[in-house]
A and B are shown apart, each in its own frame.
Chain A
Amino acid sequence: MTDVTSGPEVAPPARSVRQLGYQWTAGPAMPLLSLAVALLIGAVFIAASGRDPLRAYVALVSGAVGGATVQLAAYNTSETIVGAVPLVFTAISVAVAFRTGLFNIGAEGQLLVGALSAGAVGAAFGGLPGPVLMPLTLGAAALAGAAYGAIPGALKAWRGAHEVITTIMLNYVAIFLMHWLLQNGPMTAPSAAGTPASAKIGDGAILPVLLPSDLVPLSRLHAGTLIAIAALVGFWALMWRTSLGYELRSVGFSPRAAAQAGIDPKLRTVLVMAIAGGVAGIGGAVQIQGVLYRVFDGFSPGYGFDAIAVALLGKSSPVGIALAALLFGAFGHGGALMQSEAQVSAHIVSVIEALVLFLVAAELVARIVAGRRKARA
Chain B
Amino acid sequence: MKRSIVLMVIGAILAAACGGAGGLGGGTAVSVGLVTDVGGLDDKSFNTLANKGLEDAKKDLGVSGKVIESKEQANYVPNLTQFAQQTTGLTIAVGFLMTNSTWKVAKQFPNAKFAIVDGAPANDQEKTENLPNVANLFFSEQEAGYLVGVIAGEMLKGKVGKAGSGNTACAMGGIPIPPVDKFIAGYQDALEKYGAKVLVGYSQSFTDQQKGKEIGLQHISQGCTVLFQVAGGSGLGYIQAAKEKNVYAIGVDADQAYVAPETVLTSALKRVDRAVYQTIKAVKENTFKSGDNFFNAANDGVGFGVLHKDVPAGAKSATETALADIKSGKIKPRTEVKK
Per-position 1/0 for B174-208, Cβ under 8 A of A: 11010110000000000000000000000011111
Give residues 292-323 of A contacting B (CB, 8 Å): 292, 296, 298-301, 319-320, 323
Of all chain B residues, which has the CB nearest A80?
B78
Which of B33, B71, B77 gathers most chain A CB within 10 Å?
B71
Please judge, given known A-B contacts A195-B97, A319-B4, A337-B82, whether A66 and B22 are in contact too, CB under 8 Å: yes
Taking CB atoms, residues of chain A closer than 8 Å to B15 are: 61, 65-66
* Contact between B108 and A340, CB atoms less than 8 A apart: no
Residues in A whose Cβ lies below 8 Å from that of B23: 68, 341
Given contacts A194-B175, A319-B3, A340-B33, contact A61 B14 (CB under 8 A): yes
Q: Are B72 and A301 in contact (CB under 8 A)?
A: yes
Q: Give bound CA distance, A229 to B71, whole Å.
A: 25
Shortest Cβ distance from B101 into A: residue:
A218
Task: Indicate whether B244 reaches chain A with its CB closer than 8 angstroms.
Answer: no
A1: nearest residue on chain B (CB-CB)? B1
A27 and B6 CA atoms in complex are apart in Å by 11
Q: Within residues 77 to 115 of chain B, which ones have a CB less than 8 A from any CB in chain A? A: 77-79, 81-83, 85-86, 96-97, 104-105, 108
Residues from chain A with Cβ under 8 Å of B179 in the complex = 194
A76 to B3, CA, bound (A): 25
**B24–A68 touching, CB < 8 Å:** yes
| Complex: A333 Cα to B82 Cα, angstroms | 10
Bound CA–CA A347/B67 (angstroms): 13
- Assess A32 versus B78: contact at CB under 8 Å? Given A66-B19, A183-B204: no
Among B15, B71, B73, residue most surrounded by chain A Cβ atoms (within 10 Å): B73
Give bound CA distance, A3 to B180, whole Å. Answer: 60
A-chain residues with CB within 8 Å of residue B83 when the two chains form the complex: 340
Task: Please give me the residue from chain A that is nearest to B179 by CB atom.
Answer: A194
Contacting pair B177 A336 (CB below 8 A): no
Determine if B74 is an interface residue (Cβ-Cβ < 8 Å): yes
Flag if A194 contacts B174 (CB, 8 Å).
Answer: yes
Q: Which residue of A lies closest to B174 (CB)?
A: A194
CB contacts (< 8 Å) of B10 on chain A: these are: 32
Q: Are B6 and A194 in contact (CB under 8 A)?
A: no
* Contact assessment for B20 and A195 in the assembled complex, using a CB-CB cutoff below 8 Å: no
Q: B78's contact among A79, A195, A343, by CB below 8 Å, is which?
A: A79
Number of residues of chain B lying within 8 A (CB) of chain A: 52
User: Which one, A193, A300, A320, contacts B3 given CB within 8 A?
Assistant: A320
- Which A-chain residue is minimally distant from B81 (CB atoms)? A218
Please state if A32 and B6 are interface contacts (CB–CB under 8 Å): yes
Q: Does B69 contact A (CB under 8 A)?
A: yes
Q: Which of A183, A287, A340 lies in contact with B68, CB distance below 8 A? A: A340
User: B7 near A: Cβ within 8 Å?
Assistant: yes
A291 part of interface (Cβ distance < 8 Å): yes
Q: Is the CB of A340 within 8 A of B205?
A: no
Contacts of A292 in B (CB 8 A): 73-74
Taking a contact as CB atoms under 8 Å apart, the answer to whether B74 and A291 are in contact is yes
A194 x B96 contact (CB < 8 A):
yes
On whether the beta carbons of B71 and A183 are closer than 8 Å, the reply is no
Q: Which residues of B contact A301 (CB under 8 A)?
A: 71-72
B71, A339: Cβ atoms closer than 8 Å: no
**Residue in A62, A193, A332 whose CB lies within 8 Å of B21:** A62
Decide: B22 and A28 in contact? CB cutoff 8 A: no
Return the chain A residue nearest B14 by Cβ.
A61
Residue from the list A67, A184, A300, A339 in contact with B69, Cβ < 8 A: A339
Chain A hits for B74, CB < 8 A? 82-83, 287, 291-292, 299
CB atoms of B104 and A67 under 8 A apart? no
* Contact, CB under 8 Å: B67 / A66: no
A75 interface residue, CB < 8 Å from B? yes
Q: How large is the interface on A (under 10, 10 to 19, 20 to 34, 35 or more residues)?
A: 35 or more
With A194-B175, A195-B97, A299-B72 given, is the CB distance from A218 to B105 under 8 Å?
A: yes
Task: Give the CA-CA distance A3 to B4 in the complex, in Å.
Answer: 11
B175 and A193 contacting across the interface, CB-CB below 8 Å: yes
Residues on A with C-beta less than 8 A from B330 are: none
The residue that B177 contacts in the complex, of A193, A299, A300, A319, with Cβ under 8 A, is A193
A72 at interface by CB-CB < 8 Å: yes
B71 pairs with A184, CB closer than 8 A: no
Say whether, besides A28-B3, A320-B3, A336 and B82 are in contact (CB < 8 Å): yes
Is A101 on the interface with B (CB-CB < 8 A)? no
Task: Name the distance in Å between A189's Cβ and chain B's nearest Cβ.
Answer: 9
Cβ–Cβ contact B68 & A28, under 8 A: no
CA–CA, A8 and B14, complex, Å: 35
Q: Which B residues are CB-close (under 8 A) to A333?
A: 78
A126 to B206, CA, bound (A): 29
User: Are B69 and A345 in contact, with the CB atoms below 8 A?
Assistant: yes
Instruction: Report the minimal beta-carbon distance from B47 to chain A, rounded to whole angstroms.
Output: 13
Q: Beyond A218-B108, A299-B72, A319-B3, is A62–B82 a contact (Cβ under 8 Å)?
A: no
Nearest-CB residue, chain B, relative to A327: B7
B75 within 8 A of A: yes
Most buried by A among B2, B69, B82, B96: B82
Let me know if A220 is at the binding interface, CB within 8 A: yes
A183 touches B205 (CB 8 A): yes
A68-B22, A183-B205 known; A336-B72 Cβ under 8 A? no
Complex contacts, B66 vs chain A, CB 8 Å: 339-341, 343
Q: Are B22 and A336 in contact (CB under 8 A)?
A: no
A346 on the interface (CB 8 Å rule)?
yes
Which residues on A sit within 8 Å (CB–CB) of B2? 3, 28
B126 at the interface (CB under 8 A from A): yes
Contacts of A287 in B (CB 8 A): 74
Given the contacts A184-B204, A218-B105, A339 and B24 also touching, CB distance less than 8 Å: no
A341 to chain B: which residues have CB within 8 Å?
23, 66
Query: Using an 8 Å CB-CB cutoff, how does the interface string of A7-19 with B read, 1 for contact, 0 for none?
Result: 0000000000000
A175 to chain B, nearest CB (A): 12
- A72 to B38 CA separation, bound complex (whole angstroms): 24
Query: In the complex the two chains form, is A193's CB within 8 Å of B96's CB?
Result: yes
B18 proximal to A (CB < 8 A)? yes
Residues on the B chain within 8 Å of A195, using CB: 96-97
Q: Which residues of B contact A49 (CB under 8 A)?
A: none
In the A-B complex, the 7 residue pairs with the smallest Cβ-Cβ separation, listed nearest first, are: A28-B3, A301-B72, A340-B66, A184-B204, A61-B18, A62-B22, A67-B22
Pull 7 A–B residue pairs with CB atoms less than 8 Å apart, ordered by A: A3-B1, A28-B3, A32-B6, A61-B17, A200-B126, A298-B38, A333-B78
Apart from A196-B205, A346-B71: 19 A-B pairs, beta carbons within 8 A: A32-B6, A58-B21, A61-B14, A61-B15, A61-B17, A66-B18, A68-B20, A73-B22, A79-B78, A183-B208, A184-B204, A184-B205, A194-B180, A195-B97, A218-B81, A319-B3, A340-B33, A341-B66, A346-B69
